[in-house]
Amino acid sequence: MPSGEASYRTLFEHAAMGVAVVDLDERILEVNPYLCELLGYPRARLLEKSLAEVTHADDLARDRAQVRRVLAGELPCYFMDKRYVRADGQSVWAHLTVSPVREGDGQPAFFIAFIQDITARKLAEAALRESEARYRTLFETASDGIVYADPASGQFVEANSRFADMLGYERDEIPGLGVTRIHPPKSLPWVLEQFNEMATGRLRVAMDVPVLRRDGSVFHADITAQSLTLSGRTLLTGFFRDVSRRRQEAERIRRLNRQLEARVRERTRELSRARDLAHQANRAKSAFLSRVSHELRTPLNAILGFAQLLETGLDGAANAEHRSNAEEILRAGSHLLHLIDDLLAFSSVQAGGVSLEKTAFPLAPLLRECADEMHQAASGRGVSVESCETDFRHEVYVLGDRERLKEVLRQLLSNAVKASQAGGRVCLGLEEAGDSVRVRVSDAGRGVDPAVRDRLFRAFESTDAGIHGAGGLGIGLALVRALMALMDGEAGVDAVPGGGSSFWIRIPRAQRPETPSAAADGMPAAGPVVWHVRDRCARGPLIGRVLARRTDLHVHALPVEEFDQAFREHGWPDLVVLELACRGSEPEEVLNLLRDGTQAEEVPVILIVSEQDAAGEVPRYHQAGFAGVVHMPVDVARLLRQVDDLLGR
């Protein structure tokens, strides 16, 4: 290197940039420490390199072209950004300033190069270009329309192609538009209010904003706003998303909802009409059954009553055949009556027309009563009805309707008797289980087929009749379950080991009520007077002939309207048998009428009504003051037993 002053050497060695001396053949003659560090070479190694060896191949031609221009006198020096190749193969960017050093004759002797590291700047510029490219790509390809607006004036500065297409303008026309030009006039006050809220940052999103196209059509958009500073200028960026399809879908859903609501209303009307027709049909059915019941029961009551009279009044061998005929009439009539009763009871339960009189009453007397009543039918088949592992003297109270529970027990006992062979026995048992009581009716018949057990309590399937080998309507066990459900109980069946079946019912247990005991007054010792009082609907001499069986009684028949006069003329009788056959009669009112203004409060009254009127009402009749209640068709033995009991015989 040519000699120079000491100050030049100091500057050369300590310069804050790379400095190199290169001859005209591109050989490196001298370098400073900064350049050595920049390129990663020791000084000795770097001095062995040529300019071409440390210059990036893509920049070498451009660098040499600039050197040629300087040598040709076209440039006094040159500047350029170029890449150098480090010793580790990495590239570094540098800003190069090259000046020739000339001899005395003015010819260039060598070049001195000043090399400033600009790698960080170049990386930043590359990142910025990449970011701008990405942004521009997003801006141009976004599915939403994007527009820049001046927040003060509302004028548009720039927009992407999608925004221009949405409004039907060319892209270069957008800067001539503003907020007031792209919204319907009637919506403009509200839109400007939304724009000002966005410009101040108080609002980010405006929903369902009407937007006016160039052709005058309108679409709706959701607009999201964001402030952005570009080149020191604050702009409001608006992202427009067309929601026309969403609105169409929402309108379609609203239309479908209206159609659905209309269908529901129409269907509701149809169901209401069907319900009304069903109720009407049910009422007609109930009225029909009531009429049929009345028309069937009236002659049937007479048939059964007179058949009982025939049976009990025929003595001697000559009348044996007639007695047998009377017994057959009784059996057939009783069977027909049970069928009618079951059908009417089940129809009432299904129609919700059954009213219950829930009271607390002792269960054991009812069980004894049912067993006694079933004894005659059972003995005729050679079957005994017994209590099994149960002390019926034990007072267990239950909560329910006594007459309805009696119907249930009769049904189960009747089924069990039918299922039993001659010589068999039916067991009636009582079990206490916490807050409920379970009554079992067991037989030793052929049992229950497991295949039909689930269908036992279904109506009209005749499963119960098939099991017991007797005909029927198939509603007996269905009625049992329905009545038990009304009394908050249940019914079921268990198989008995070794054959047979065990039907059971469960009913809620009750506390023993505090009721005063009633002591009957003494009755005349002989020649009791009995009045048979009848309403206008009571026909036939049945009750009178039944009472006539007690030959020591003085029986007087009279209509209910003449009771008051008869009392004034003859005094009160020892017993009144009140027969009410008119449908809808109110026994309590008749009883009050009989006793009003008289001294007959102490006279016991036996009430005779239809079974339909007696159903569920017996406790109420007793509470009203009736000493006994008998329902049609009259059980002659039971009526006479009540007469005897009340007369103290």
| 5-30 residue pLDDT tens | 677 788 888 888 999 999 999 999 99
Instruction: Tell me the three state secondary structure of residue 115.
Output: strand
Q: How many separate domains does the chain show?
A: 5
- Domain assignment present for residue 109? The answer is yes
Pair 379, 500 in one domain: yes
Q: Are the CB atoms for 297 and 305 separated by under 8 Å?
A: no
CB count in 10 Å sphere of residue 495? 14
Which class for 466: exposed (0-12), middle (13-18), buried (19 or more C-beta within 10 A)? middle
Model pLDDT, residue 338:
67
Pair 29, 14 in one domain: yes
Q: CA–CA separation, 352 vs 342, rounded Å?
A: 15
Average pLDDT over residues 369-397: 75
- Domain assignment present for residue 113? The answer is yes
Enter the tokens of residue 189: 């006050």
> Has this prediction a pTM greater than 0.75?
no
Pair 56, 149 in one domain: no
Enter the tokens of residue 396: 């267990």
**What angle in degrees, to the nearest 10, is found between the helix axes of 320-350 and 402-419?**
120
Pair 464, 363 in one domain: yes
Instruction: Tell me the three state secondary structure of residue 25.
Output: coil
Pair 371, 479 in one domain: yes
Which class for 649: exposed (0-12), middle (13-18), buried (19 or more C-beta within 10 A)? middle
Average pLDDT over residues 114-137: 87
| 137-188 residue pLDDT tens | 888 888 899 999 999 999 999 999 999 999 999 999 999 999 999 999 999 9
Please indicate whether residue 535 or residue 540 has the higher confidence score (pLDDT): 535
Q: Are the CB atoms for 640 and 550 separated by under 8 Å?
A: yes
Q: Which H or E run includes 341?
A: helix 320-350
- Domain assignment present for residue 426? The answer is yes
Please enumerate, as own/partner, the contacts of 380-384 that have beta carbons within 8 Å and a separation of 24 or more. 381/417, 381/418, 381/420, 381/422, 382/422, 382/423, 382/424, 383/417, 383/420, 383/421, 383/422, 383/423, 383/424, 383/425, 383/426, 384/424, 384/425, 384/426
What residues have CB less than 8 Å from 170, skipping those under 6 apart? Answer: 164
Pair 68, 95 in one domain: yes
Please indicate whether residue 256 or residue 291 has the higher confidence score (pLDDT): 256
Model pLDDT, residue 519:
35
Average pLDDT over residues 551-574: 78
Pair 235, 191 in one domain: yes
What residues have CB less than 8 Å from 378, skipping those under 6 apart? Answer: 384, 385, 417, 426
CB count in 10 Å sphere of residue 531? 25
Shortest CA distance to 518 belongs to which of 599, 626, 606?
A: 626
In the listed set 208, 242, 276, which residue is the last one of a domain according to the structure? 242
Pair 212, 267 in one domain: no
Model pLDDT, residue 173:
94
- Domain assignment present for residue 618? The answer is yes
DSSP 522-557: P--SSS-EEEEEE-TT--SSHHHHHHTTSTTSEEEE
Above 70 in pLDDT, residue 456? yes
Pair 399, 324 in one domain: no
Average pLDDT over residues 188-207: 94
- Domain assignment present for residue 348? The answer is no
Pair 151, 195 in one domain: yes
- Report CA torsion sign: 123, 124, 129, 135: positive
Model pLDDT, residue 389:
58
CATH number at residue 71: 3.30.450.20
Q: What angle do CA 418, 424, 428 make, to 5 degrees?
A: 75
Enter the tokens of residue 164: 């221009």
Shortest CA distance to 416 belongs to which of 486, 333, 480, 327?
A: 480
- Domain assignment present for residue 211? The answer is yes
CATH number at residue 539: 3.40.50.2300
- Domain assignment present for residue 338? The answer is no
Pair 114, 186 in one domain: no
Q: Are the CB atoms for 615 and 644 separated by under 8 Å?
A: no
| Pairing relationship of beta strands 554-559 and 529-534 according to DSSP bridges | parallel
In the listed set 217, 242, 267, which residue is the last one of a domain according to the structure? 242
Q: Are the CB atoms for 346 and 479 separated by under 8 Å?
A: yes
- Domain assignment present for residue 340? The answer is no
> Percentage of the chain surpassing pLDDT 90?
34
Boundaries of domain holding 193:
142-242
Please enumerate, as own/partner, the contacts of 136-144 that have beta carbons within 8 Å and a separation of 24 or more. 142/239, 144/239, 144/240, 144/241
> Percentage of the chain surpassing pLDDT 70?
82
Enter the tokens of residue 369: 């009563």
Above 90 in pLDDT, residue 574? no
What residues have CB less than 8 Å from 641, skipping those under 6 apart? Answer: none
Q: Are the CB atoms for 468 and 448 separated by under 8 Å?
A: no
Q: What is the mean pLDDT of the chain?
A: 82
Q: Are the CB atoms for 634 and 542 separated by under 8 Å?
A: yes
Pair 159, 236 in one domain: yes
Question: Helix H segments across 88-168?
Answer: 119-141, 161-167
Residue type, 76: P
Confidence of residue 518 (pLDDT cuts 50, 70, 90): very low
